[in-house]
Amino acid sequence: MSDILMNAARKAAKRPGKTLLQALVIAAGALAFSAGLSMAGSLQRLERETYRYRISVASGETDEAGRFEYTRPSVFTDEILGRLASETGFITATAAVNETRWPAVRVGGSRYSIRSVLSAEAGYPDIMGLDLVAGRFFTAEESASGARLVVLSRSAAVSLFGTEADAVGKTIESERGVMMFRRGQDQAGQARLATETYTVTGVYEDPSELARAALGIPDALIPFGADRPPGLSARSQISVFVAETDGSSAAALKSRLTAALASMGVEDAKVETWEGDPGTPNATAASEARKALSSLAGAIVGLGILVLAASVFGIYSSTAMEAADGRKGTAVRRALGESSLGTVLRFMSSNALFGAAAAVIGALVSLPAYRALAMAAESVLSGAGMARGGIFPSLPPLWAPVAAVAATALACALFSLPPAVGASRAGIVEGIQEL
């Protein structure tokens, strides 16, 4: 090691300006690579946490034309969902869901429209990662009883009541459908909208447009069964549920789920699993968004690799010059017993150490550079309505700058390999003559 350090010091002393410039170029390459790895790591984390651990499951099957048909009656029950979450290992939490249609709602004397409403069990907010900003979510007991409660997104709460705090405790009248009345065979039918009153218990942060479109996260959430007409049982049939998983793919989960249901006595169960909106079986928006994020992360890493490779390319020429200038010294070393492999390793180790030292500087500078890139990316995404900020952590993953230093050292060693091999061919006889 001391020999390598002395060799690097002599190289720097002999051509200080050139050595400094080369170090700065390598540091810049390491900076770009480290920042790229950090951004890619954050994007992969976003992709993983937003999509991969959430799955939708429906009781039914898809025909050859790609049309999905629900199974009636459904194979899912409260008991089966509970056992799936507690016994399988690949499903860690479940929540039954059902799309609800509210043509309009009334608040005071005004009539409004809510973009989307979903009835769901109490575990839905945790599975989907909804953040409460006021009030509370409904409980499992309230969900089981079909209590007429509603939790609103922040934007819906502000539109209906002015502020999040003002929304909690207020009531909403929903127009849930048309009820028909006929007085006689010859008389015209009469119709009116049936309304029900829901009390607002809480407000959650608006999901990003990315999550809203891909995962079907609604603007209003009511207890599962609360959309049942008065007089009917509050417990609806469970046709669809969302689940938190171990990260397995939808295709793998389908076969594992079928096997798990068979072990519970449900033979030949027809189920479909997919990433995304539970109201749209076989939806592809989530998988396409996930692939897009993965592709973007890969493109960023690829660009970083190209920049790093360009920055260390000068090692080749500098090593060739060093080998030519030190040919006599290398020959003497060979005469004194240094092997060809030892000569190659000496040149490669010296350049790897030089590259690592320069890369450490680049990796340190990449920390504020990463933060600046992250803030710019979040501004763009927020402006497009795809995120509300907080996508990228304040500090990059620790492995990113460490990997950048290691990759830079390896690249410098590899680029110095051809001239190092040439230097190793210095003749022993020539070295003896020099002695």
Question: What type of residue sits at position 366?
Answer: S
Residue 7's pLDDT is 60
Q: What is the pTM of this model?
A: 0.69
Residue 16's pLDDT is 66
Residue 434's pLDDT is 44
Tokens of residue 64, six digits: 């050859």
**Contact status, residue 275 vs residue 286, Cβ threshold 8 Å:** yes
Domains of the chain, residue spans: 2-49+289-434, 72-269
Cα-Cα end-to-end distance for the chain = 25
Residue 133's pLDDT is 95
Residue 264's pLDDT is 92
Residue 159's pLDDT is 92
Residues 6+ apart with CB under 8 A from 403: 34, 37
Q: Is the dihedral of CA 22, 23, 28, 34 positive or negative?
A: positive
Residue 432's pLDDT is 47
Residue 435's pLDDT is 45
Residue 10's pLDDT is 57
Residue 43's pLDDT is 80
Residue 11's pLDDT is 58
Burial of 374 (C-beta count, 10 Å sphere; 0-12/13-18/19+)? buried
Nearest of 334, 327, 404 to residue 369 by alpha carbon: 404
Output the CA–CA distances (angstroms, integers) from residue 60 to 75, 76, 92, in the order listed: 9, 11, 22
Residue 386's pLDDT is 53
pLDDT (tens place) for every residue of the chain, 435 residues total: 555 555 655 555 556 677 788 889 999 999 989 988 888 888 887 777 777 788 999 999 888 877 899 988 899 999 999 999 999 989 999 999 998 888 889 998 888 988 889 999 999 999 998 999 999 999 999 988 889 999 999 999 999 999 999 999 999 998 765 444 445 555 555 455 567 899 999 999 987 777 787 888 999 999 998 877 665 665 678 999 999 998 888 888 999 999 999 999 988 889 999 988 898 888 877 777 778 778 888 888 899 999 988 988 888 888 787 777 666 677 777 676 777 787 888 888 888 888 899 999 998 988 888 888 888 877 766 655 555 556 677 778 888 899 999 999 999 989 888 887 877 775 554 444 444
Residue 271's pLDDT is 92
Residue 249's pLDDT is 84
